[in-house]
Structure formats: C-alpha cells, structure tokens
Amino acid sequence: MLDCLDAEKLAEFWAPALGWKRLGADGQYVVVGTGDRTQHELLLQQVTEPKVGKNRMHLDLRSSGMEGEVERLVGLGATRLSETFDECGCRWVVLADPEGNEFCVCTEMS
C-alpha cells in the first residue's frame, strides 16, 4: 500500500510505470496491477496528510536498459533525484513519483 494525496492521479503514474493497469477503486483506494489476481498489485490509499521525510517503503525496479527506463519514467511524471551510481554489484538511479515518493531503477553491472 502506498499513501498518497491523490490516488487516482498517482495511479495514472504507477500503472504505466509498472506496465500494469488501473483495476478498480473503492472510496479512498485505487488498485493497479496486471489484472491477474495471482500477481502482485499496488494499492494506493488517499490520505489527507502530505508525505513528510523519507519513505518507509522504497521500490527498486530492475531494467536491462536503465537509462531508457529512467527517461520513460521521467516522461510519465517522475523526477530524477540522482546521477547513476554503483552499489552492491548494480548501477542505480534514484527517482521520485509525482508526489515525491522515492524509488530506484537498477541494473546489474556488466
């Protein structure tokens, strides 16, 4: 679950960012996923308080074409927060979704 100020708007970012679709909504909740209930889903919960400080949950998205994926996500509304860096045998870039929730794109180093 990811708390957010505007669940519908954030679903418009996370569904295509993850290659998923908006599956439904109920009150303050919007669900995005593949549509196959055996797979992972992301529940967006609309709350009134804004994000303050560091995320308690941080997604790492693996990609074999990291720079292209970063550009695609920025095109969807993400903000790039870091240059590429190496750590734990991978290359990483830190981004933020449209509400400022940090996440990374990573690829294994060759």
Please tell me the predicted confidence (pLDDT) of residue 85.
Answer: 96
pLDDT at 52: 86
Contacts of 64 (CB under 8 A, 6+ apart): 107
Parse the chain into domains and list their residue ranges. Answer: 1-50, 51-110
pLDDT per residue rounded down to tens, the chain (110 residues): 999 999 999 999 999 999 999 999 999 999 999 998 888 999 999 999 988 888 878 899 999 999 999 999 999 999 999 999 999 999 999 999 999 999 999 998 86
The 3-state DSSP class for residue 88 equals coil
Cα–Cα dist 92/78, whole Å: 15
Alpha helices in 1-110 (DSSP H): 7-18, 66-76
CATH topology of domain 51-110: 2,3-Dihydroxybiphenyl 1,2-Dioxygenase; domain 1 (3.10.180)
Please give the CATH topology (third level) of the domain spanning 1-50.
3.30.720
Domains 1-50 and 51-110 fall in the same CATH topology: no
CA 100/CA 78 separation, integer angstroms:
8
> pTM of the full predicted structure?
0.90
Distance CA 79, CA 100 (A): 8
Q: Are 51 and 96 within 8 A, CB to CB?
A: no
Specify whether the CB–CB gap between 11 and 110 falls below 8 A: no
**Residue 39, pLDDT score:** 86
pLDDT score for 51: 86
